Amino acid sequence: MSTNHKETPHIKPNGVEIAETILLPGDPLRAKFIAENFLEDVVQFNEVRGMLGYTGTFKGKKISVMGTGMGTASMGIYSWELINVFGVKNLIRIGSAGSIQDDLNLYDIVFAMGSSTDANYAHQYNLPGHYSITASYELLEKAKKVADEKGYPVRIGNVLASDVFYNADSTAMERWSKMGVLCAEMESAALYMNAAQAGVNALCILTISDHIFKHEKTTQLERQTAFTKMMEIALELAE
């Protein structure tokens, strides 16, 4: 866990502990919702740039939650600092995603076993080939067990972490879909690579908020507060 004197340009805990297990929604208001509705003994540890972060307990176990913003760059910064400065060991992204499969519908839950990406985040490692971006099996196995115990059906597979939200290439998602990719989001690849390099655990748990091909979508308020099943699964992963 973090020591109370550490800070970065983006995270200033002011003496508040950051737990070794942290939930990472993109939306800081979702972090606030989780802190207020699921955690006990909550203390806020970050408000820099409006990226709210909290530490509390869930069923007696210490856990933190903080927003990360959108995209590879934002997740890359926050996850790197949490891992390498504050000593976080288990990072669980809980986010929304757009389905690109006909049989994956609104509110379905996806565990990102793999993360395909159009981002160039891996270039920094100077690897002599293409890196396969995967979740921590330890967290994936635990999350599946929790989902089974709660009776929550989940899909497990490959997701797309895209750098592009408004894509000028209108056929891009169709090609990813043909390769069996389940859905599109924007952060899992950077999270998984930062975790892999540091030897810590990461998992991305997603709720389908819209269907890209069917043009179905949930509201902003639903994305912020109604995705409680994925939150419940993630909270049970606290060490």
Catalytic hit among 41, 103, 108, 210: 210
Query: Would residue 169 show up in a list of annotated catalytic residues for this protein?
Result: no
pLDDT tens, 160-213?
A: 999 999 999 999 999 999 999 999 999 999 999 999 999 999 999 999 999 989
Other Cβ atoms less than 10 A from the Cβ of 23: the count is 30
pLDDT tens, 1-40?
A: 444 579 999 999 988 999 999 999 999 999 999 999 999 9
Phi and psi at residue 137, to the nearest 5°: -65, -35
Assign 224 a pLDDT band (cuts: 50, 70, 90).
Answer: low
CA distance 169 to 238: 40
Other Cβ atoms less than 10 A from the Cβ of 227: the count is 24
- Average pLDDT of the residues in 43-72: 96
Q: pTM here?
A: 0.94
CA distance 53 to 34: 10
Residue 192's pLDDT is 98
Of all residues in the chain, what percent carry a pLDDT higher than 90? 89
